[in-house]
Structure 1
Amino acid sequence: MKFYPAQIIQSALLCAALLGLAPLANANDNLNPPPKQVTQTIENAKLMGWGTLRWFGLRVYDGQLWSNAEPEGFNYKRDPSWLELKYARSFDGSDIAERSIDEMEDIGAGTEEKRKVWLAKLTAIMPNVEKGHSLSALHTPGKGLHFYRNGLPLAKVDDPELAEAFMGIWLDPKTSAPEMRRELIGLKKR
C-alpha cells in the first residue's frame, strides 16, 4: 500500500488524538461565537487568541480576547477589545479588586492616590465569582470600560485611565503573565 504525505499526516494526527496527545478538532472550535456586545461595538471583531492563567499549576481562569486588530500590530491602548475570563475557582469580589490594583501597580499604571480611588471603584463593581462564572470587559480606548458578569451588564466605568490600566493587567508588555498575554493577543502559535 502506498501512502501519500496528506494521508500520513492525517494518520499521525488521528493516532495522536486517540492517544490524548492532540485534539481531534481545532481548539478554536470549542470557543463560543463573539458575544453580541462585541459584534455591536467592535466592527469586524475576531477572536485574537485564548489562554489559561495558572498559579502554581492550578488553573485560575481561561481567557479570550476579541478585537479587530492584527496580532502583530495590536495595541490595547488604541484598539477596542473584549476580554472575557471564565473562572475555574471561586473568588471574593474584593479580592479580585485588590489583586487588580496590585497588578496595575506592577505595570506602572496610575499614581498611588489614583490607585486608591480605583480600588474603591473596583471593589464596588467586582462581584464574587463561582467556578464557571465569567467576567468580561469591553474596552473602548479613550472612553472607558463596560463590565459584564456571565454576559449580563454589570457596570460602566467612564475613566479612560482606569480602563487602560485594567486592560493592561493582561495586555501590557509588563504584565505578570507574559505567556497568557502572547496567547490572548494571538502571538503564540498553537
Structure 2
Amino acid sequence: MKGFITAVASLALSSVLSISHASDVDSPKLDDQWQSWPTVGSADLDFLFFDIYTSELKAPQGSYQLGDDLTPHPVALSIVYERDISKKHLLKETKKQWAHLGYKEEQFTRWERKLAGIYPEIKKGDRLVYVTSGDSGVFYYFKGNQGATVVGEIQDEELNDAFLAIWLSPNTEYPDHRASLIGMNQ
C-alpha cells in the first residue's frame, strides 16, 4: 500500500500561487501569467481512507487540446499534497509510472537524475507546480504557506512530455483522474 500511496503522491505535482524567486534558474516568460490562467480541471487522488493529493490543470484558454502531442500548448499542473512524501519515494513512484507508460529504463534513469535535483522533501500542505510552455518548463515549490521558490527547470522536451504523461497520457494508470484534469468530467 505504501508503494501505491507513493505512486499517487508522485501524480500530485501541482498547487496554488504566489511567486518570489529564490533561485538562479532562468524561467520561461510564463512566470506570472500562469497564475491567472483558467482552470481546465481538478482531481483528488485518494486511496481507501487516505487522501494523497489534489491536482489542478490550468491553461491560457481554460481548455486542454487533445491530440498526439501531450503538451501542444502551455499548461500548469499544480499538486497540493495531503501527506508527507519523501523525495526518494516520489522518485520511485515517478519511475514506476514511466515504466507503466512504456518508457525504457535507460530513458527514465537519465530523467531520474534530473528530477533528483528538483524534487523536494514534501510535507503535508506543500504544493509543487510544473509550468510548461509546451516543450520546456519550470518547477515551483510552495512550502506550507510560504511563497513559491523555483526549484528546477526542464529544457529536454522528451522529459517535459514524459513527466506530464504521468497525468495526461491516455495510458495513465489513473484514467478517471486524467479525465477530470483535462475537463472531460465537467
| TM-score after normalising by structure 1 | 0.73
In the alignment, what sits opposite 1:157?
154
Cα 1:68–1:74 shift into 2, 3 Å: farther
Equivalent residue of 1:125, what SS? coil
In the alignment, what sits opposite 2:93?
99
Percentage identity across paired residues of the two chains: 23
Root-mean-square deviation (CA, aligned residues, Å) is 2.5
Matched, 1:65 2:57: yes
Give the aligned residue type for 2:105: E
In the alignment, what sits opposite 2:7?
none
Q: Given the alignment, which residue of 129, 133, 149 partners 2:122?
A: 129
Give the aligned residue type for 1:128: E
Higher helix share: 1
Cα 1:39–1:148 shift into 2, 3 Å: closer
Count of residues paired in the alignment: 156
Alignment of 1:82-121 (within 5 A): 82-109=76-103, 111-121=104-114
Cα 1:94–1:74 shift into 2, 3 Å: same
CA distance in 2, matches of 1:80, 1:108: 24
In the alignment, what sits opposite 1:145?
137
In the alignment, what sits opposite 1:45?
37
Q: Unpaired segments of 5 or more residues in structure 2?
A: 1-14, 20-28, 143-147
- The C-alpha deviation readout for 1:93-146, integer Å capped at 9, x for no partner, is 12111211211221123x22111111111122111110000011011222x221
Greater RCO (Cα-Cα under 8 Å, separation 6 or more):
2
CA distance in 2, matches of 1:153, 1:81: 17
Alignment of 1:146-185 (within 5 A): 146-150=138-142, 151-185=148-182
| TM-score after normalising by structure 2 | 0.74
Q: Is the 8 A contact 1:157 1:163 kept in 2?
A: yes
Cα 1:43–1:136 shift into 2, 3 Å: closer
Q: Unpaired segments of 5 or more residues in structure 1?
A: 1-30
Equivalent residue of 1:78, what SS? coil
